[in-house]
Amino acid sequence: MGAMTNGLRAELFDKEIIDFSIDSRTVGAGELFFALSQPDYERAGFNGTFADAHDFIAPALARGAIAAVARRDHVARDEKLQTLNDRLLLVDDAIAALQTLARKVYEQWGHPVVGITGSAGKTTTKELTAHVLAGTGRRILKSERNYNNGLGLPLSVLQMVSRGRRPENYDLAILEMGMSSPTHEIRRLVQITPPDIGVELLVAPVHLEHLGTIENVAAMKAELIEGLKPGGIAILNADDKLVMDMKSKTDGPVLTFGIQNPADVTAR
């Protein structure tokens, strides 16, 4: 596990990490706590104001967390945290450490990933797809609830190594990939888990307070198709022109679905 976290102190991993947490209120015994702060949440795609979790490291450890991932510069100026140094994993960037860990788990696993995005319908499509494929005998990892941003996706991937689970217990991952700003959120998500199949549901005028135009929404959504593995399959909504324009973003196979326009798969 130490190698997965990009050189974090391996001696803290003598005991098994049961799970991973970003919430000091719910962290449990044996879990690794990531102390995130406002910039981490903003980079992950959250809006609003968030407390600095470094202020809650001591309570998290008191609740039984095996260790806490904390920013090196923050600990350097906090004498109280320095007294907990033997329980801290010091990093330059807490959210990058979380995402790097998820990427390492993905790399060791090495099975196909289905990425799903769209202005609506991601969670429903994920759940239906997982249900259908599970019926064929495939062992499915899917996004937890509607976890689809720079925190939710890595936490979902880390479920492969949580609570006694192992990566070899899964054949396929179905992951939501969302965005709400022009900061290339989906581009970062596909760098964590490059998709073999990318599903584009629709583009709608959402998050315009950050993106300005529906064309900008489409450009950010298209990062899923741009991030497909070589030869990866794009699955596009034939009834949405902005989605169909994404065909130009890939040299790989394209499948279409729809109701109104001709498509490879249609509903009756």
* pLDDT band at residue 215 using 50, 70 and 90 as cut-offs: very high
Nearest-10 crossing angle of helices 185-192, 94-109: 40
Domain hosting 94: range is: 10-98
Q: Are residues 146 and 249 in the same domain?
A: yes
Decide if pLDDT at 78 tops 90.
yes
Residue 237 located in a structural domain: yes
CA gap 159, 24 in Å, rounded = 18
Of the listed ranges 112-116, 119-123, 148-152, 180-184, the one predicted with least confidence: 180-184
| CA-to-CA dists, residue 23 to 12, 141, 163, 181, 257, angstroms | 20, 22, 17, 24, 40
Q: Are residues 93 and 127 in the same domain?
A: no
- Residue 141 has which token pair? 């990892």
**Under 8 Å between Cβ of 175 and 209:** no
DSSP string across 18-73: -EEES-TTT--TTEEEE---HHHHHHTT--S----GGGGHHHHHHTT-SEEEEEHH
* pLDDT band at residue 268 using 50, 70 and 90 as cut-offs: confident
DSSP string across 193-223: S--SEEEE----S-SHHHH-SHHHHHHHHTH
11 vs 57: which has the higher pLDDT:
57
Final residue before a domain boundary, out of 42, 70, 98: 98
pTM comes to 0.90
Q: Are residues 186 and 74 in the same domain?
A: no
Q: Are residues 79 and 159 in the same domain?
A: no
Q: Are residues 126 and 180 in the same domain?
A: yes
Parallel, antiparallel, or unpaired for β 172-176 and 254-258?
unpaired
Number of domains within the chain = 2
CA gap 112, 232 in Å, rounded = 10
- Residue 175 has which token pair? 């992951």
Final residue before a domain boundary, out of 98, 133, 166: 98
CA gap 31, 93 in Å, rounded = 19
Q: Are residues 237 and 159 in the same domain?
A: yes
Q: Is 225 left (phi over 0), alpha (psi -120 to 50) or beta?
A: alpha
Q: Are residues 170 and 245 in the same domain?
A: yes
Query: How far from chain centre, in Å, is Cα 29?
Result: 24
Q: Specify the CATH number for the domain of residue 244.
A: 3.40.1190.10
The DSSP bridge partners found for residue 235 are 199, 255
Q: What is the pLDDT of residues 10-34, one digit of tens each?
A: 445 566 789 999 999 999 999 999 9
Q: Are residues 93 and 115 in the same domain?
A: no
Q: Give residue 10's pLDDT.
A: 47
DSSP H/E element including 113: strand 113-117
Average pLDDT over residues 131-147: 94
Q: What are phi and psi of 247, to 5 degrees?
A: -55, -30
CA gap 16, 11 in Å, rounded = 12
Average pLDDT, the chain: 92
Final residue before a domain boundary, out of 67, 98, 129: 98
In the block, tokens 């920013």 appear at 71
CA gap 68, 75 in Å, rounded = 11
Decide if pLDDT at 90 tops 50.
yes
